[in-house]
Amino acid sequence: EGWASTHDAIPLGPNETLQLPPRSAAEAPDPEVVGFAYPLPPVDFAVRNERRYPPPSQESMLKHMSALIASDLNTETLGLIYNEINSNRRDGPRWQDALIEAGGADQLLAICRSADVGEALSLYNSQQNESPSWTPHYWALAILGRMVGTNERARRRLIEADVSSVLLDGAKARDPELRECAICGLKGLIQYPEGRERVTYATLIECLGYSSR
């Protein structure tokens, strides 16, 4: 819990840090192994005092998510949604619940199902040296993968909606970034018994073999 979950040291002041004890493998799961089931970060230390910095209410979260879902679900909007559902271990699952209540999960699944798994997704502006920008399909897979990996309520709801088939289709994409994103979602899903009922280790290994071709 706290700083030790995501930090090796605590900043004390200018050029001063407190080194934390090394984490065990169980406390610091390898993202290469658990994919999108990697734990959400703790609430930022500066805003942990909930009296001074109260967390957003469920009502305000639902209102915000509903507004995002009602807008154009382009890469910018989906990136904002991802940032909210991935924010921290206190608020992230609540944002995910709000997203589902707003009907966003169904729209994300629809984006994935209507996408061409062979689409080109990285759009790199070499002149401005900007970071890659991803398609809605990529962002939808990332959001769904993070939800199944970090929130039991969301995971069960998405399993019922057959999210596993969406992730498996993405894992067969020709584009390596899109494929890797889907595989991270599958790795997250199989960390849980209900996920392994839909996707076996053998199926995941088959997908990893496909990605190495």
Task: Encode pLDDT of 15-70 as tens digits.
Answer: 665 655 555 544 678 889 999 999 999 998 888 888 899 999 999 999 999 999 99
Secondary structure, 3-state, the chain? CCHHHHCCEEEEECCEEEECCCCCCCCCCCHHHHHHHCCCCCCCHHHCCCCCCCCCCHHHHHHHHHHHHHCCCCHHHHHHHHHHHCCCCCCHHHHHHHHHHCCHHHHHHHHHHHCCCCCCCCECCCCCCCCCECCHHHHHHHHHHHHHHHCHHHHHHHHHCCHHHHHHHHCCCCCHHHHHHHHHHHHHHCCCHHHHCCCCHHHHHHHHHHHCC
pLDDT digits (tens, 9 = 90+) for 113-156: 997 644 443 433 333 343 444 799 999 999 999 999 999 999 99
